[in-house]
Structure 1
Amino acid sequence: MDPAERDAAFINEALKKETPDYKVIIEIACTRTSEEFLAAKRSYQFQYKHCLEEDVASKTIGDFRRLLVVVTSAYRYDGDEFDENLAHSEANILHQVIENKAFNNDEIIRILCTRSKKQLCSTFIAFRNMYGTTITKGLSTDHPNDEYMEALRTVIRCIKNPRRYLAKVLYYALNDLIAEEHALSRVIISRAEKDLNEINDLYFQRNGITLDSSVAKKTSGNYMNFLLALLGNN
């Protein structure tokens, strides 16, 4: 499989679960480039004869649906340019949303799901400088729609520091009683030719053990050898 076909398969697998795994969909939508995600959506439609956005809409409801449909349908600008004035303005909008607990406000979805990653990172920095806390902490509040709130935080984490987020995914996958092979395979295979060394470094900084050591402890046989080979241990 090429990367787009793999991502389409990962998304299909996540959607087919009894309770769809929305974090996988957000992870792929927000850690890939816009062109990579567009290729994955095209591959999804080719392989499964369905539009991804329509499948997401059919399996979700309410605010959660609104968020995921925009996440999967938006095409972000991938350039390095950003506007500091816009960052300050939208940091203020996000702060007002949080202060008013208007978490289903269209503006929060518009900003998080359509702005470029560089623009959003500038907005997150402005938010912290202006209000003395991170936006994810601002969104860590009791709310009746916990799934929606967690989805918002996941979007932010994937955009703000995708490598750190993926290192955390690997940590949880390897700290279940039985290793969560779907998550392990998804992250290690998809990042093997990109930034797996950097993710490994973050994993070690967080956990005091290398990723390959954790894989060797929690997996076995041909599957272990396959993952270790991708991690550079032949």
Structure 2
Amino acid sequence: MSYPGYPPSGGYPAFPGYPPTGQESVYPPAGQYSYPTVPGGYPPAGGGTYPAAPPSAGYPGVAGYPALGGYPAPGGYPGAPQAGGMPPYPGAPTGPGFGVPPTGPGFGGYTQTPAQSYAGGGPAQISGYPGGQAPSPMPGPPAAMVQCTQGTIQAAPNFDAGRDAEILRKAMKGFGTDEQAIINVVANRSSDQRQKIKAAFKTMYGKDLIKDLKSELSGNVEELILALFMPSTYYDAWSLRHAMKGAGTQERVLIEILCTRTNQEIREIVNCYKSEFGRDIEQDIRADTSGHFERLLISMCQGNRDENQTVDYQKAQEDAQRLYQAGEGKLGTDESCFNMVLASRSFPQLKATVEAYSKIANRDLLSSIDREFSGNVERGLKAILQCALNRPAFFAERLYYSMKGAGTDDSTLIRIIVTRSEIDLVQIKQMFTQMYQKTLATMIASDTSGDYRRLLLAIVGQ
């Protein structure tokens, strides 16, 4: 097995001290310089063909290989350190299928047991990950690719708010409603464009678009369309308010929003909650939750997580040791230590801490949290770690369980599809397929019906 496209025709690239002077144009004998043995030998220098890049079983969120020239360049991915990861050059990978995949800090992977190779193999078993599996073979994009996210909804080109307002007016005017015309507009406009359509509708007709839509629609399709017309910050604040309003509390909604948003998003949500509902979100959380879960949510509400993308590996080692001593390494659990580390460290820093922890404790941090915590605080801490390791996988799992089994948790399905539609729904779809061996669209189609199904599928795409 060789890296696709490597070495280039004409010989090996000039890695320091390799190959030996005088042997630049020939392949080394099998087994020399750590190159794996390949049946039939390597293709002759300057000719032959190399295996094609594998399909999207490579890195989630990217069709085929990441756009980094194939496999990691010498030194790994840009910004990805070597610790526990790619073997250092000079010398090529050691072992069939390129050996153990990089699981070191800077690579977005769960701790894998047993180790999987790059070249195929089934899903890695992740003992601490709900559902028991991470996608094959490398769960999570490298640190350098964290920002390579994509929504299924893009701003429509040649957008005309007045024309769209007119289409919606005609769709609702007279007897009956043209739901397909409404779907065609709302599923193909960005959130900002939908706000402009609302304003144009009121200017043109002196009527409130949302009230008209509510009078024409009902059930889940009404909830979905109204969610699409809410500004994203308002929708998050509205969802949090409804999760704590009245009898009972929907703790999973609080976790899903407060444990996954950026600092700026959280601060905007907190301000919106105050201005739109006239309430203090911290007071509502204190009134509706208690104990360590309450403290974790209050920490999240501050929006003060370190967002420096540079990883301090010494601190990661210290944090890992601290977490071990606060949990597995003692009788009882020091919950405040877990709260402090998971609520304040940046996501890249947490990845490094997870890797260091697995070496200290001989167990991954997710499974340690399973053992040390229970209930909502356990779910909250694990949500933070899962987002640090692979955010699309976290949302893919939430979507799966919203539809699995009898009945559908439509509010969760709607909320995730709407809130991620312009951020990373493309990556969530790809993770969903890898984790559950079926497409998100297939599961939605089998679990929903009518205009509700048509609108969901229009947003998700095939």
TM-score in terms of structure 2 length: 0.48
**1:199 maps to which residue?**
428
Q: Are 1:60 and 2:292 an aligned pair?
A: no
1:130 aligns with 2:398: no
Cα deviations by residue, 1:24-46 (Å, 9 ceiling, x for unpaired): 22221232221112111111111
Change (3 A) 1:36 1:142: closer
Q: Which residue is equivalent to 1:25?
A: 254
Larger Rg: 2
**Aligned counterparts of 2:265 and 2:444: Cα–Cα separation in 1:** 27
1:117 matched residue in structure 2: 347
Q: Which amino acid aligns with 1:120?
A: L
Alignment-mate amino acid for residue 135 of structure 1: L
Worse-superposed segment, 109-118 or 68-77: 68-77
Q: Indicate the SS of the match to 2:308.
A: coil
Separation (CA, whole Å) in 2 of partners of 1:13 and 1:109:
26
Deviation string 1:83-121 (CA, Å, 9 cap, x unpaired) is 110000000000111122543432211111111112112
Q: In the alignment, is the contact (CA less than 8 A) between 2:402 and 2:413 conserved in 1?
A: yes
The alpha-carbon distance between structure 1 residues 90 and 17, as it changes in their structure 2 partners (threshold 3 A), is farther
Moved more, 149-158 or 126-135: 149-158
Residue 74 of structure 1: CA displacement?
Answer: 4.1
Return the alpha-carbon distance in structure 2 between the equivalents of residues 105 and 157 of structure 1: 18
Task: Supply the distance in 2 between the matched residues of 1:185 and 1:108 (Cα, whole angstroms).
Answer: 32
Q: What is the aligned-residue RMSD (CA, Å)?
A: 1.8
1:228 partnered with 2:457 = yes
Equivalent residue, structure 1, for 2:234: 5
Specify which structure has the higher proportion of helix: 1
Distance in 1 of aligned mates of 2:292 and 2:372: 16
For structure 2, the residue ranges without an aligned partner over 5 or more in a row are 1-229
- Alpha-carbon distance in 2 for matches of 1:133, 1:17: 41
Divergent runs of 4+, >6 A: none
How many residues are paired up?
Answer: 232
Say which of 78, 93, 96 aligns to 2:307: 78
Cα separation, 2, equivalents of 1:223 and 1:192? 16
Q: State the secondary structure of the residue aligned to 1:75.
A: coil
Taking the aligned partners of 2:242 and 2:405, their CA distance within structure 1 comes to 20
CA displacement at 1:157 relative to structure 2? 2.1
Residue 225 to residue 17, structure 1, CA distance change in 2 (3 Å): farther
Q: Unaligned regions of 5+ residues in structure 1, if any?
A: none
% identical aligned pairs? 28
